Structure 1
Amino acid sequence: PTAPPIQPGSAAIVQVNDALFDTEACLNCHALLAGPFCAQCGQKKAARMGTSTVRKEAWERFRWFEWSTIRNALRVLPQPGTMAREYVLGRRKDHPHPLTLLCLAIGFLLIVLGYTDYLRPELPSEEAQRMYALVTGYSKWSFSLGAVAAFVSMWLVFRRFGYNAAELLALALYCQAVFIALQMVNQLPLVLAHSPALLKWHKAWSPWYMTGLQTLMFMVALRQFFMLGLRHDGWRLLLAGAVFAALKWQATQWYARAVVELVLWQMAG
């Protein structure tokens, strides 16, 4: 026997709270539960996301080389907000854990970046080469700024929609995985075409159009997650997108300055 499926409502009506998870039905397939695991789909009874839940589920479900993980991860690309919403609402068996997905994306990004070592310039001294290596090493981790900007902008604009910090963080991590996928696609021309002219153009324009693409994808994810209508909630999407773009751009500038100061300090030592 199955329980009636949970019908998603609009973001303005549906409130995420502990009562949503206090049910005898599986939140993944809606079958009635007779124990801690669903007899129909095998998912463990879902609890509301929190700090301990995120840590425990990440440890239980972290698998590097499962094809199902990769297959499910690919489903995030066109609909990160929908999958994050379903994951937060309890459908977790068929969706990758946000941290697992993020680690998988980072792994692939580092592989792609490894193929761009030919971009390393010829430097006149060993000291200059060391400085360049330090700057490059720290700069590779600047992609994490997108998740921070996404979380802060969501918290500022949508914190009254009933989702707690862990649930908003799940959406931010799903978005960050998509941002990394976009970054990998953006790096492919540099991997395939060893062209100084292309490299010069890429360095000049990539920060601008990538910020625009990430902002657009972020707004799409927000609309999917909060089930927003363009007519009534378009201003919220535009506001969140503007806050995200501004925060990410400013955070990137601060990060770059911090990297320079840190490298200069290391070189002086």
Structure 2
Amino acid sequence: MPELARSAHPVASSICRNCGNRGHGHFCQECGQSYATHRISFPHLLHEVFHLFTHLDKGFLYTLKELIRLPGDMQREYLAGQRYRHQKPFSMFFVAITVTALGQYFIKALVFKLYGMSDDSQDYFRHYFSLMQMALLPLYAFITWLFFRKSEYNYAEIAVLVLYSLSLVIFVVLLLNISRLLFPNFETEYIELPFIVAYNTITYFRLFPADSRWLIVSKSLLINTACFALSHVAAELVVHLLEK
């Protein structure tokens, strides 16, 4: 009888504000959006930011954790179709360059305030590093693809690999530059460059297991050398244009 009573009063259906589909439950069966939507407010935005940076089971921090813990394996899983729990590559990269650009700005301002130091030779790096990496990304991907063009991955898939790896590298660069607040003359490049080479080499080991270790190391050194040279030339060119 209780079940008959409940069936006599069916649950009201909801209309999805995204696609217009009518259905029951909490989420639209057509597009997956929640039926419960509310007006966006400042607390809502704060909640979204908090959610982005505090959920380790999926999304941004989960992807960052996997990039640190399983370089190469994480990218291979994403390329194989296991994508639900991972932050999408472009959004991951844009979050990385945005946070790093803001961080570099404040680090430079604090170093100047604490020590009265303003190194003009480093000014380009502090202001334009993130933007330059974004501009050079297609070329980084092309260089990497040239060395692994005989693998199962096409250019677009290699670009995804580079997006994820570069996202982590950019964060590491930011963390290393925080040390300048205590050691303003510290040259972080002496740590950054070995880290980048080592991280990319480990990534290639796991992503291309069919290649020999020595071949991977050789390709990694050549790829990183080419990318460093490209970055250096681009930096010199931009500085030269800005000085005119």
TM-score higher than 0.5 here?
yes
SS in 2 for 1:160: coil
Amino acid paired to 2:103: V
Amino acid paired to 1:181: F
Using the size of structure 1 for normalisation, the TM-score is: 0.60
Amino acid paired to 1:75: E
Shift in Å, 1:134: 6.9
Q: Which has the higher relative contact order, 1 or 2, with Cα contacts under 8 A spaced 6 or more apart?
A: 1
Amino acid paired to 2:96: A
Residue 254 of structure 1 corresponds to: 233
C-alpha change, 1:214 and 1:142, in structure 2 (3 Å) is same
Give the counterpart of 1:112 among 86, 103, 107. Answer: 103
Residue 172 of structure 1 corresponds to: 162
Shift in Å, 1:163: 1.1
Shift in Å, 1:220: 0.8
Amino acid paired to 1:84: Q
Deviates more, 1:76-85 or 1:105-114: 105-114
Residue 69 of structure 1 corresponds to: 59
Q: Percent identity?
A: 16
Shift in Å, 1:250: 1.1
Shift in Å, 1:102: 0.9
CA distance in 1, matches of 2:212, 2:136: 23
Give the counterpart of 2:184 among 199, 216, 221. Answer: 199
Amino acid paired to 1:166: A
CA distance in 2, matches of 1:248, 1:99: 20
The answer to whether the 8 A contact 1:147-1:175 is kept is no
5+ unaligned residues in a row in structure 2: which ranges? Answer: 1-28, 32-47
CA distance in 2, matches of 1:221, 1:156: 17
Task: Output aligned runs, 1:231-242, within 5 Å.
Answer: 233-242=212-221
Of structures 1 and 2, the larger Rg is shown by: 2
5+ unaligned residues in a row in structure 1: which ranges? Answer: 1-41, 45-62, 124-128
Using the size of structure 2 for normalisation, the TM-score is: 0.66
Shift in Å, 1:167: 0.6
Shift in Å, 1:79: 1.8
Amino acid paired to 1:167: E
Shift in Å, 1:91: 0.9
C-alpha change, 1:245 and 1:91, in structure 2 (3 Å) is same
The answer to whether the 8 A contact 1:85-1:225 is kept is yes
The answer to whether the 8 A contact 2:104-2:126 is kept is no
CA distance in 1, matches of 2:206, 2:83: 17
The answer to whether the 8 A contact 1:87-1:95 is kept is yes
SS in 2 for 1:245: helix
1:211 counterpart = 2:202: no
CA distance in 2, matches of 1:158, 1:224: 13
Give the counterpart of 1:152 among 139, 142, 146. Answer: 142
SS in 2 for 1:189: helix
Q: What per-residue deviation string (whole Å, max 9, x for no partner) do you get for residues 213-269 of structure 1?
A: 1011001111122234xxx6112211221112211321232122112221123xxxx
RMSD of aligned C-alpha atoms? 3.1
Shift in Å, 1:171: 0.5
CA distance in 1, matches of 2:127, 2:85: 35
Give the counterpart of 1:95 among 57, 64, 86. Answer: 86
Q: What per-residue deviation string (whole Å, max 9, x for no partner) do you get for residues 7-36 of structure 1?
A: xxxxxxxxxxxxxxxxxxxxxxxxxxxxxx
CA distance in 2, matches of 1:140, 1:88: 25
